Amino acid sequence: MDDDVVPVGGGSRSLKTAATVLRALRLLGDHPEGLSASDLAEELGKSAATARYMINTLCEAGYAERATSGRCRLSDAPPWGHWGTTAEPSSPVPGDPDPGAVLAEATTELYRRTRQRSYLVRRTGTVVATVTDSRGHQGLAKHPGLGTHVPPAHAHALALTKVLLATSAEYREAVEEEGEPLADLTPATLTDLAALRAELEDVRREGVALDREEFAGGFATVAAPVVSPSGAATVALGLSCSARRLALDEEELVETVRAVAARASAQWAGEIGARHVGMPPARPNETVEIEPFVGGLSGPRR
């Protein structure tokens, strides 16, 4: 597995990752006709999976764009250029209507009903999974190791990305290219590809995914897809809780996640009216937090 796939907190590996990204930008600048993922991988000496992850991240951030040929090239302007703050809101799924506040309200509703930290994750491009929203109160544990992006090498271990893997053959292919055995983030992580494929079949059938201490020891996640009006499932809604809480209340948590995600899907499709879900009132000495993830809101609320 390439170091450059995994976001790190600091040190020489962070500098190496930054240097690789700058090299990628320079290469794109030197090739105005664009580069394919395989071209970029060869130039950088990295795997195809790493190159695709890098391309999708650069495109999502606005530094690059895909040509009609499928090749990647630099954008006409950087993210702080003419797009500015006037860009119109866009749908997570091209061609589908903008969901408006539906996804944010669903994230709030899930937290309100469970009092567990809730997350919204989107798959952009092919292999980039991005945490775009989160709800929780001050003091409520955040899921260890979960940043703003989930690299392909870790997608098999988290319920929020298992849901997306189950619905995208292209995404599964990118994860499988990391090779077997899959990364074992904890002793409970599923590392066998055949076993993962079987689990993803269950996820497709049941419409919900779980991880029990697979991504982080002592923690669990539960997630379900929010389906767009066209039937695409590139958005996952879920929660993080202690492994002990999941063991005690699994049925209740699973059904709540499934119900809130299903309602958000129906609201997005216009089948039922959206309703405003305000942040739940804080309990004594508790501050409700809205995490400042990409595309989300930020700031505490008492």
The pLDDT score that the predictor gives to residue 116 is 96
- Residue 247, domain member (yes or no): yes
Residue 21 belongs to a domain with what CATH number? 1.10.10.10
Same structural domain, 10 and 142: no
Specify the pLDDT at position 119. Answer: 95
The answer to whether residue 96 is domain-embedded is no
The whole domain housing 206 covers: 102-301
What was the pLDDT predicted at 161?
93
Q: Are 20 and 4 in contact (CB under 8 A)?
A: yes
Asked whether residue 207 falls in the same domain as residue 278, the answer is yes
Cis peptide before 181 (omega within 30 of 0): yes
Q: Do 142 and 272 belong together in one domain?
A: yes
Same domain, yes or no: 63 and 129:
no
Residues 57 and 126 in one domain: no
Total count of domains within the chain:
2
Q: What is the pTM of this model?
A: 0.64
Residues 218 and 114 in one domain: yes
Helices (H) and strands (E) in the chain, counts: 8, 10
Angle (nearest 5°) at CA 210 between 208 and 211? 160
How deeply is 129 buried, as exposed, middle or buried, from its count of CB atoms within 10 A (0-12, 13-18, 19+)? buried
Residue 266 belongs to domain with CATH number: 3.30.450.40
Residue 31 sits in the same domain as residue 135: no
Q: Is residue 238 part of a domain?
A: yes
At residue 296, the pLDDT reads: 37
Residues 174 and 135 occupy one common structural domain? yes
150 domain-assigned: yes
Together in a domain, 211 and 296: yes
Q: Is 160 helix (H, G, I), strand (E, B) or coil?
A: helix
Q: Are residues 143 and 290 in the same domain?
A: yes
Residues 58 and 130 reside in one and the same domain? no
Domain for residue 84, yes or no? no
- The per-residue pLDDT for 200 is 93
pLDDT tens by residue, 232-245: 888 999 999 999 99
Query: Mind listing the pLDDT tens digit of every residue in the chain (302 residues)?
Result: 444 444 444 445 556 777 788 888 888 877 878 889 888 888 888 888 888 888 888 877 778 888 777 788 887 655 444 434 444 445 566 666 777 788 989 999 999 999 999 999 988 665 668 888 899 988 888 999 998 888 888 999 999 999 999 988 877 887 777 666 888 999 999 999 899 999 999 999 999 999 999 999 999 999 999 988 888 888 999 999 999 999 999 999 999 999 999 999 999 888 755 444 433 444 455 445 555 454 333 333 33
Please indicate, yes or no, whether residues 247 and 111 belong to a single structural domain of this protein: yes
